[in-house]
Amino acid sequence: MNIAKLLEQRRLQWTELERLCGELEVRGRTQQRSAAAVSRFATLYRSACADLALATAYQLPPATVAYLHRLVGRAHNQLYRSGTSTFASWVDIVIRQAPQRIFSDPCVRVAALLFFGLFTLSMLFAWNETLFPQFAETVLGAEHMTMMESSFEEPLDASMDHYLMMSGFYIQHNTGIGLQCFAFGILLIPCLVTLSYNAVVLGASFGYMARDSVAAGDNFFQFVTAHGPFELTAIALSAGAGLRMGLGLFATGGLRRVDSLRLSALKAVPIMAAAVVMFFLAAFTEGFISPSPLPYVVKAAWAILSSGLLMFYFVVLGFPRRGDDAA
């Protein structure tokens, strides 16, 4: 058998396949290519696959086999391309899948219970000056307390440019914390620590500002009322998504550990997507409505409206339906 002749015959096809691969890699998509070229590419790919399969029968030299491995891998990557998710699929995830998961997922309940429980406890401790005189100062630090007080001494009144910039800041900062909490969830404990830290610090701030002795309290609650529902729920949700993912490492449900982790990550993403949407809504509220000198009634109305929206989202959209695989 003459390998050299065989290689010469095949080589023409291989170089043609390489050329097509190169074009596909540079241009990315096949829009500019004719259908004939695409089908030619598929034909060449299959024949290269056949060559690789017969490589041992042909007793091809190892270097040629290595070359064929790379060629087939390269063509394989061009033929089977990554499926890009469309905007419509994300709308479906947020509107249909996420509420179903949130409604049925015990991890979300645990995270919500932990967050709002610690938040309430911490608020009560910080508020009650007689029983826990040192709590607020220990948690927040004296420096932070005076800073918080001084920043809410003035009545709320900001200009349009301040609103814009703060919205941007809240999107960047708060959503970042939420996503980080989600990512930490894969190891469970960092997520729980982040969640508890936020709950305790926020609760202590609320409790401290609610004291009668603190003059800036009124302005503070004027500020936080409007965006509170969205933001606090979003933090709890992102932690819930993280816990769902991390739990897959331990509660495998009969799957291999890696497969279970992968499956639970897929389950967690819709919850996190809903949390990101809430963070964005909270950021715009916090940027535009909260610091504005609007009457408190308007802000409270917005808070009630947003709570109602959340209830509708969780309960009406999330109620388990027959024949729905999301639950």
Partner 1 sequence: MVVERTMIAVLFAPVPTKRRMAVSAPLDTTIEVVTPENIAFDYQLAGPFRRLPAYLIDVAIRLVTFLAIIFLVMMSGMLAGGLFGSGLLPALGAAVLLILYFLQAWFYGVFFEAYFNGRTPGKWICGLRVISDDGHPITGMQALIRNLLRAIDLMPATTLAALDPEDSFFAMLPLMTGMVGLVTMLSTRRLQRLGDLAAGTMVVMDERNWTLPVARVDDLRVPALSSFVPADYRATPTMAKALANYAERRLYLSPPRRREIARHLAVPLLDRFEFRRDVDPDLLLYAIYYRTFLADGVAEAPQLGSLSGFSPLAKDAQFQDATAAHTTAAAATQPSATHTAATQPSADHATALSPEDRS
State which of residues 117, 168, 295, 308 lies at the interface with partner 1 (CB under 8 A).
168
- Is residue 7 part of the contact set for partner 1 (CB under 8 A)? yes
Instruction: Give the residue carrying structure tokens 């495998």.
Output: 252
Least distance from partner 1 to the Cβ atom of residue 2, Å = 5
Q: Which residues 6+ apart lie within 8 Å of 280 measured at CB?
A: 171, 175
- Is residue 84 part of the contact set for partner 1 (CB under 8 A)? yes
- Is residue 171 part of the contact set for partner 1 (CB under 8 A)? yes
Nearer to partner 1, 153 or 161 (CB): 161
8 A C-beta contact, residue 93 and residue 270: yes
Q: Indicate the SS3 state at residue 214.
A: coil
Q: Write out the E strands in 88-237.
A: none
Provide the CA 253 distance to its chain's centre, in angstroms.
24
State which of residues 13, 23, 30, 67 lies at the interface with partner 1 (CB under 8 A).
67
For residues 244 and 182, give the distance between their C-alpha atoms in angstroms, rounded to a whole number: 9
For residues 72 and 70, give the distance between their C-alpha atoms in angstroms, rounded to a whole number: 6
Selection from 118, 101, 252, 242 nearest residue 183 by Cα: 242
Least distance from partner 1 to the Cβ atom of residue 276, Å = 9
Binding residues for partner 1, rule CB under 8 A, total: 68
- Is residue 85 part of the contact set for partner 1 (CB under 8 A)? yes
Element (H, E) at 94: none
The number of residues in the chain equals 327
- Is residue 194 part of the contact set for partner 1 (CB under 8 A)? no
Nearer to partner 1, 205 or 292 (CB): 292
Summarize as ranges the residues that interact with partner 1 (CB under 8 A): 1-5, 7, 11, 14, 18, 28, 46, 49, 52-53, 56, 59, 61-64, 66-74, 76-78, 80-85, 159-165, 167-169, 171-172, 175-176, 179-180, 182-184, 186-187, 190, 245, 258, 261-262, 265-266, 269, 272
